[in-house]
Structure 1
Amino acid sequence: MRFQAIGLMSGTSLDGLDICFAAFEKQNDWNFQILKAETLPYPENWEEKLRNSIHLSPEELLELHAEYGFYLGEKVREFIDNNQLEHIDLIASHGHTVFHQPQRKFTLQIGDGRAIKVQTGSPVIYDFRSQDVLMGGNGAPLVPIGDELLFSEYDACLNLGGFSNISLKQDGKRIAFDIAPVNIVLNRLAQKFNKNFDENGDLARKGAIDQDLLTKLNSIEFYSRSHPKSLGIEWCCEHIFPLLENIETVNAMATFTEHVAHQISEVINKNNLQNILFTGGGTYNTFLIEKIREKTESAIIIPEKEIIDFKEALIFAFMGVLRFNNEINVLASATGSTADHSSGLIC
């Protein structure tokens, strides 16, 4: 059984649209091959639209949902044409998260999959999170199904994106949860220096740790809660950003980096993990990685660039393949929903 699929991922840190074309084959186990992948940085107008989407009226948000769907379709069409791709079984799109409030039974990822279908003519699977939220889950993290079936040689898989999340085996079940915000905060602070992100963590490295701020950050109630649990930008607006006001920016960056490293290493050490696969844009933040290494004796595995950059897009392509075959692609042990299920709208 072999499938070729395109996965689309837009993270909360708005560093661009990840497109991954991969082949999946199942014999006894699933294996994969990334055939072509690239990240398309958002033009300034699109970055602004997506960043401000949380403030739109209902009508404006519906308009953006369709407009962004056509934008995704256009970019996929260009990706297919430029790389002369053939034999595409399906396109799986995560969309861009605007709202994520599972406790209130809703999550919203914009980018209408039907518009992608109109642009490309290929079957499209989208809206992977809503069903899980309606089933009592967090709608996140979803990538653990890929960690379980494609990356099982590691004790855990940890993603450093807008938020950090981890997936690991516990008592024979795959569990997963968000650990802490990462780039959604650090990038916002870097923008005060007219930078999209803090390359290598160099700005944070110049700052001094504010012990009072660090104590406040580490005392936030979320960190003491048991899994499953997930985070959204609304949570950051309420609990993180107010604490960083009136703090010199480089000191805020240094302190927040220390905070993230502390929270991640706590999880690693508590679960006695021997080797952890690190992926996501935050993996390039050498200052953050150094801080984590200082706090744990576990082996931190940093893979080739293709896996660092495109693991999430790869797994959404894989989730699309599983959904296309009506196989389980969301694990209740990871999200907290009432049962494992096959999620995503097909068009």
Structure 2
Amino acid sequence: MRVLGLMSGTSMDGVDAAVLETDGEQVAAFGPTAFRPFSPGDRAALRAALGRWPGDPGLDDVEARVRSAHAAAIAGFEGLDLVGFHGQTLAHEPQGRGTHQIGRGDRLAAEAGVPVVWDFRTADVASGGEGAPLVPFFHFALARAIGATAPLAFLNIGGVANVSWVDPRAASPEAAGALVAFDTGPGNALLDDFLKERRGAAFDADGAVSGAGQVRPEVLAGLPDHPYIRRSPPKSLDRQDFHGFLDAVRELSTEDGAATLAALTVACVAEGARYFPEPPTRWLVCGGGRRNRTLMAMLAARTNAPVEPVEAAGLDGDMLEAQAFAFLAVRVLRGLPTSAPSTTGARLPVSGGRVSRP
């Protein structure tokens, strides 16, 4: 099928759109891509809505903004069989109230005239899972597509960072030993928020600010005892869960604060790596964090295998998650699992998502 995947992540900068040709098991071809930025008004509305749940007042406008941005992204593509629509995460409490991705896929299908698969996470949470991360099943297909023959790690550094340890020798992504996946900790979110406060900057371009500072180890001293770090995977977190560290660097210089927050992201990855069944032979990094030279250098210093952007394997690090939701949409349509005990902690493999037709 020719499928368009749509992803708006925790960085809340806009909509990634990517076409994938796939049967939900193998990647046949990568198609065109596009990015539709959120307007300043959209971003402000989304930030104000963080932490809110279905039924809370004032969310109709936010939902309409999210859906409108995604409809505009779809309009740039032709010949689509299906759309995978992630929506925008506003709140995530898998052990509490559940998970909330705003965006009505049924209305989007009616507006776009294409079948839409959406609400990918709710069924996993209802089955005892974390609802995240969902990209690992796509990572398994990618490991096969690039010809990997030994375990490797896909590290996504978006607003939140998540990792997939993949053994491509396994029979399928839901097979025992095929995958270990979890959110490691903050990705770029805290660093972005800090630099927005200090300099009005959207992010640390090329890692220039963090690279000019000194890491303050006393801020990170308690990290191994953080409740999230001490939890065994599968596990997932909300964008706000590590905000205490943002408070802890507010008394530092901009450069030292940025360096310390970058080191926090890397330290969380290093703490998470001890849960892998065996060391990966390669780290492939996607998401905006792969462009932060300071982050990448810190990662290389904390691992015992090559650390490279996914482009080194011929992949598109900006569009990987959008492609993933195209891949998962076909799996939902076919009734194939999209998550498993080893990726989200669900009791059994789950095919999570709703299908809405125009």
- Residue 8 of structure 1 aligns with which residue? 6
Q: Report the AA paired with residue 54 of structure 1.
A: L
Structure 2 residue aligned with 1:172: 177
In structure 2, relative to structure 1, the CA distance for the partners of 1:127 and 1:187 (3 Å cut) is: same
Name stretches of at least 5 consecutive residues in structure 1 with no aligned partner: none
Q: Quote the offset at 1:55 in angstroms.
A: 6.2
Q: Which deviates the most, 260-269 or 290-299? A: 260-269
Alignment of 1:97 onto 2:105: no
2:186 is matched by which residue type in structure 1?
P
Shift in CA distance, 43/70, structure 1 to aligned 2, threshold 3 Å: closer
Please point out which of 289, 298, 301 is paired with 2:296.
289
Is 1:145 aligned with 2:137? yes
Quote the offset at 1:325 in angstroms.
1.2
Distance 2:293 2:240 in 1: 28
User: Which residue does 1:161 correspond to in 2?
Assistant: 158
Of 58-67 and 32-41, the range deviating more from structure 2:
58-67
Q: Distance in 1 between matches of 2:224 and 2:40?
A: 34
Assess if the C-alpha contact under 8 Å between 1:168 and 1:174 holds in 2: yes
> Which residue type is aligned with residue 349 of structure 2?
D
Query: Which is further off, 57-66 or 114-123?
Result: 57-66
Q: CA deviation at 1:232?
A: 0.5
Q: Secondary structure at the match of 2:265?
A: helix
- Give the secondary structure class of the aligned counterpart of 1:258: helix
Determine the C-alpha separation between the residues in 2 that align with 1:190 and 1:36: 32
2:251 counterpart of 1:251: no
| 1:232 equivalent among 225, 230, 238 | 238
Distance, in Å, in 2 between the alignment partners of 1:31 and 1:264 is: 28
Residue type at the aligned position of 2:15: L
- C-alpha distance in 1, partners of 2:51/2:23? 43
Q: Distance in 2 between matches of 1:255 and 1:61?
A: 35
Instruction: Check whether the contact 2:51–2:91 (CA below 8 A) recurs between aligned residues.
Output: no
Give the TM-score normalised by the residue count of structure 2.
0.88
- Equivalent-residue separation in structure 2 for 1:40 and 1:51 (angstroms): 18
1:306 deviation in Å? Answer: 5.4
Once residues 95 and 285 of structure 2 are traced to their aligned partners in structure 1, the CA distance between those partners, rounded to angstroms, is 29
Q: Which has the higher helix share?
A: 1
**Is 1:303 the equivalent of 2:305?**
no
1: distance between equivalents of 2:315 and 2:38?
20
> Does structure 1 conserve the Cα–Cα contact (< 8 Å) formed by 2:136 and 2:181?
yes
Equivalent residue for 2:215?
A: 209
The number of residue pairs the alignment matches comes to 336
Query: Closer, same or farther in 2 for the Cα pair 1:25/1:131, shift >3 Å?
Result: closer
Deviations 1:5-58 (A, max 9, x none): 0000011012321000121157xx612322101222221111111111126681
Of 328, 353, 357, the match for 1:344: 353
1:19–1:39 CA contact under 8 A, matched in 2: yes
How far has the Cα of 1:169 moved from its partner?
4.1
1:45 counterpart (21, 41, 44): 41
- Structure 2 unmatched runs, 5+: 168-175
Paired AA for residue 339 in structure 2: V
Instruction: Answer whether contact 2:210 2:262 (CA < 8 A) is retained.
Output: yes
Q: Deviations over 1:166-197 (max 9, x none)?
A: 11147623120011102111111121212111
Q: CA deviation at 1:247?
A: 2.7
Percent identity between the two aligned chains: 28
Which residue is 2:338 aligned to?
Answer: 329
CA RMSD, 1 decimal: 2.0
Q: Which moved more, 1:54-63 or 1:218-227?
A: 54-63
Aligned-pair CA distance for 1:218: 4.5
Q: Which residue of 1 aligns with 2:172?
A: none
Deviation string for 1:84-113 (max 9, x for gaps)?
x22x11100111100000011410001111
Contact 1:142–1:331 (8 Å) recurs in 2? no
Calculate the TM-score normalised by the size of structure 1: 0.91
TM-aligned CA distance change 1:229 to 1:55, over 3 Å: closer
- Once the 2 structures are TM-superposed, how far is the Cα of residue 269 of structure 1 from its aligned partner? 6.3
